[in-house]
Amino acid sequence: MKKVLMVAIPIAVVALLLATLPSFGFGRGHRQHGMMKDFIMYKIDRLAGDLDLNSAQQARWDTFKKDLETTIEQRKGKREEIHNTVKKELAKDNPDFTKVTPLVHGQIDSTAQFAHDMVNRVNELFSDLSPEQKRKLSERIMEMHE
């Protein structure tokens, strides 16, 4: 069971992140950013309700949710900044790709680091759950995985 969970949790987090990548991505999905963020926050709240968290767990869950929301907003601002820089450079008669390439690579690296951080944070939340809560979360993850 532990092996299944150790595989399923990162897969679920990555699946969630892939679903949200348009809101973090490069030049696409900027109109849906608010809707996607709201949807993620709704799913997190719904999952917390399903898990029937105690007060200490709920406090950690709320901190996770607030940190995630803050990170999403920060990433949105950075993404828009990079998008505008790339757009300006590409609008030139002779664009210099060496100016924008590091920005794109930086965004890719930032997205990967964000995914790693989220997997670690979810793992922390998971380790704090009771066996029954872990079972419920595992079932939910398996539903998303299928």
Q: Give the per-residue pLDDT at 57.
A: 93
**What is the structure's pLDDT at 15?**
52
- Residue 20, class by beta-carbon neighbours within 10 Å (0-12 exposed, 13-18 middle, 19+ buried)? buried
Residues sharing a CB contact under 8 Å with residue 79, sequence separation 6 or more, in sequence order:
24, 25, 26, 30, 107
pLDDT tens string, the chain, 146 residues long: the values are 556 555 556 555 555 544 444 444 444 444 555 687 888 888 888 888 889 999 999 999 999 999 989 988 888 888 888 889 888 988 999 988 888 889 889 988 998 999 899 889 988 888 899 999 999 888 887 887 77
Question: Tell me, what's the pLDDT at 28?
Answer: 46
Using alpha carbons only, what angle is made at residue 71 by residues 124 and 114, rounded to the nearest 5 degrees?
60
Q: What is the DSSP letter of 36?
A: H
pTM over 0.75: no
CB 114, CB 17: distance < 8 Å: yes
Class of residue 57 by CB neighbours under 10 A (exposed 0-12, middle 13-18, buried 19+): middle
Query: Tokens 């949807």, residue?
Result: 39
Provide the token pair at 9. 């949790």
